Amino acid sequence: MLLLGSANAQNRITVRGTVNDDKGAPIVNASVLVKGTTTGVTTDANGKFSISVPDSKSVLVVSNIGYKAKEIEVGNNTSPVIDLVPSVNSLNEVVVVGYGTQKKVTVTGAVAQVSGKELEKTPTVNLSNALVGRLPGISAVQSSGEPGYDNSTIRIRGTNTFGNTSALVVVDGVPDVAGGLERLNPADIETMSVLKDASAAIYGSRAANGVILITTKHGKSGKPQLSYNYNHGWAQPTRIPKMANALQYIEMDNSLQIYKLPQVEWSDALAAFQSSGTFNSPSSGTVRATYQPDDIEKYKDGSDPWGHPNTDWYKTTLKDWSSQEQHSLQINGGSENVKYLASLGYQNQDGYYKNSATGYKQYDMRLNLDAKVNKYISTSLGLTARQEFRHFPTVGAGDIFRMLMRGKPTDPEVWPNGLPGPDIENGQNPIVITTNQTGYDDDKRNYFQVNGKVEIQIPWVKGLKLTGTATADKEIQRVKTWRIHGTYISGTIKPMRPMV
């Protein structure tokens, strides 16, 4: 069996090729897949790829968005140059640009577009995080995972201005809607277009960093269609700092006593600390180690977990997994003259702490109505309402994680009676401060948006129409902070008086 496996490995062929478009320009991030397997790679910035295939009869499937997929048999050519041709269907797709639409084949500016169905494939509670890797020229960096503040910073072709460097967001023709795009329901989005360079000029100087155009779904004529989507996921930090354990910590603490002595005494002091815990220094007299040999032994074997604990503050404060869920209910239908779409959404995102006071909840609804009054007049009305509820402990995430970094592994997280252990700073212990025992910090935001449009076709001038629009955008934010002011004594909170 070993000989057979070795023979199979030797028969494999490495194919190094290049993928170009019909004009000979390299195609970046084109997919190269071995047909009938899950083995695949993508092309680099020069359109080049390298992939290992079982034998010369293997078939490579090369594809990219906007191009027809192509299959080639490897054969004896291990350095193929593959040309992809544009897909005619993709050139006929309609792209939203400024205050109108164009076919892709006629678009001369830099415009990228992604459909709502593609965005729904990413089960994220924040829409900005679903843009990563879906639109060329866009960088989305998520710097925080805290519920309610986990949006990505979006840049279109880098930073182009001082001060406000964000892109202009336009939803259904309304620029700078309150709340931005982060908390929109992906199930309500029909398309999302990104305008770059001159294609965004119609919006003036505010579009210096690019424009993101979002078009929401509208009803379609026919019988009512009801759909429901549910997603439940779990999240965890990508990486947690690895801190020193109790034994490493006490060895470093003892070393600090040694480093205070002249360097010529270091080796003798280390040997004395390990044997007796005391060193008679010719220059400084008797020096006693902070942790004696019997302490080191108990930290090493774990025989005294209360007197000589080994606490991992990250592990004892953070959960292994944090849950998040999304619900979306949508109905649409209508006749040739009147069409409607209504949707309801709900999100619930838990924090990473155990017994967490951190969380985010959202309720949203949308109603889009389209009516054709007569042959020349048509109207539309859009209503959106959303409530965002963020709740946190009285100390911010930055302060809490600083405590976790500063926590000593030689301090217990809880005492044998179940009460929290010693404080780390300012009379606070992460076991307590991450819960609502010391109060709460609630942030509730309500958004209500309505926009209406009337279009009048001019019957005596073909292609000419008058459009009137009106928009109302309201945001109400209510923040309430309740702190239980007290002193930290032997692992208990002694209340003094409530403060708002």
| Residue 359 or 40, more confident | 359
In contact, 129 and 149? CB cutoff 8 Å: no
What span, in angstroms and rounded, lies between the C-alpha atoms of 495 and 500?
A: 14
Instruction: List the one residue out of 248, 482, 469 whose CA is nearest residue 357.
Output: 482
Burial group, residue 251, by CB count within 10 angstroms (0-12, 13-18, 19+): middle
| Residue 67 or 273, more confident | 273
pTM: 0.71
pLDDT over 90 for what percent of the chain?
Answer: 36
What span, in angstroms and rounded, lies between the C-alpha atoms of 357 and 436?
A: 5
Q: How far is CA 474 from the centre of its chain?
A: 27
Please report which confidence band the pLDDT of residue 427 belongs to, taking 50, 70 and 90 as the band edges.
Answer: confident
Backbone φ and ψ for 84, nearest 5 degrees, come out as -105, 145
Q: Are strands 377-392 and 439-457 parallel, antiparallel or unpaired?
A: antiparallel
Residue type, 495: P
The two three-digit tokens of residue 173, written as one number: 């023709």
Mean pLDDT estimate for the chain: 84
Burial group, residue 7, by CB count within 10 angstroms (0-12, 13-18, 19+): exposed
What span, in angstroms and rounded, lies between the C-alpha atoms of 267 and 120?
A: 64
What span, in angstroms and rounded, lies between the C-alpha atoms of 13 and 19?
A: 19
Domains of the chain and any CATH numbers: 2-86 (2.60.40.1120), 92-216 (2.170.130.10), 246-309 (no CATH), 315-499 (no CATH)
Q: Which residues pair with 339 in a beta bridge?
A: 334, 370
Tell me: the pLDDT tens digits for 127-175? 888 887 777 777 888 888 889 888 888 888 777 667 677 888 888 888 8
Tell me: the pLDDT tens digits for 366-396? 999 999 998 889 999 999 999 999 999 988 8
**Per-residue CA distances from 235 to 85, 146, 359 (Å):** 40, 11, 13
Backbone φ and ψ for 398, nearest 5 degrees, come out as -60, -45
Tell me: the pLDDT tens digits for 19-45? 998 888 888 888 898 888 878 888 888
